[in-house]
Amino acid sequence: MTVHTTANAPTGDAGPGTGGGPGTDRSLDRLVSTGWLLPTGVAGVLGFTARFESALATVHRALTRAHPDGTPGPSWHAPVVPRGQIERAEYSESFPHLLGSVHALDQGTAEDAGLGEDARVPTDTVLAPAACYSVYPALADNTLSGARYFDVAGSCYRHEATSEVGRFRSFRMREFVAVGAEDTALAWQEDWLDRCRALFAGLGVAVEVQTASDPFFGPGARFMRSSQLQQNLKYEFVAPVYPGDPGTAIASVNLHRDHLGQRFRIGSPEGGWAHSSCAAFGLERVVLALVRAHGDTPADWPALG
Residue ranges for the chain with pLDDT beneath 70 = 1-24, 107-119, 213-231, 305
Residue ranges in 110-264 assigned as alpha helix (H): 135-139, 182-203, 225-231, 259-263
Report the candidate in 220, 219, 246, 211 with the shortest Cα–Cα distance to residue 23: 246
Angstrom distances, CA of residue 95 to CA of 60, 69, 73, 217: 29, 34, 30, 11
Task: Please report the pLDDT score of residue 161 as a whole number.
Answer: 80
**Terminal-residue alpha carbon distance, the chain:** 43
Task: Please report the pLDDT score of residue 3 as a whole number.
Answer: 55
Contacts of 29 (CB under 8 A, 6+ apart): none
CATH for 2-300, options being 3.30.930.10, 3.40.50.2000, 3.40.50.300, 3.30.950.10: 3.30.930.10
Task: Please report the pLDDT score of residue 96 as a whole number.
Answer: 82
Task: Please report the pLDDT score of residue 30 as a whole number.
Answer: 94
Task: Please report the pLDDT score of residue 91 as a whole number.
Answer: 85
Task: Please report the pLDDT score of residue 110 as a whole number.
Answer: 54
Task: Please report the pLDDT score of residue 4 as a whole number.
Answer: 57
Angstrom distances, CA of residue 54 to CA of 154, 171, 284: 17, 16, 12
Contact 220, 259 (CB under 8 A): no
The angle formed by the CA atoms of residues 164, 169 and 171, to the nearest 5 degrees, is 105
Residue ranges in 13-171 assigned as alpha helix (H): 22-33, 50-66, 83-89, 91-94, 135-139
Rounded to an integer, what distance in angstroms lies between the CA atom of residue 283 and that of residue 298?
Answer: 17
| Residue extents of the structural domains in the chain | 2-300
pLDDT digits (tens, 9 = 90+) for 253-263: 999 999 999 99
Task: Please report the pLDDT score of residue 37 as a whole number.
Answer: 97
* Number of neighbours of residue 305 by Cβ within 10 angstroms: 13
The verdict on pTM exceeding 0.75 is yes
Helix, strand, coil percentages in the chain from 3-state DSSP, rounded to 5? 35, 25, 40
pLDDT digits (tens, 9 = 90+) for 72-130: 899 999 999 999 999 999 888 878 888 999 988 876 665 555 555 566 788 999 999 99
Contact 237, 193 (CB under 8 A): no
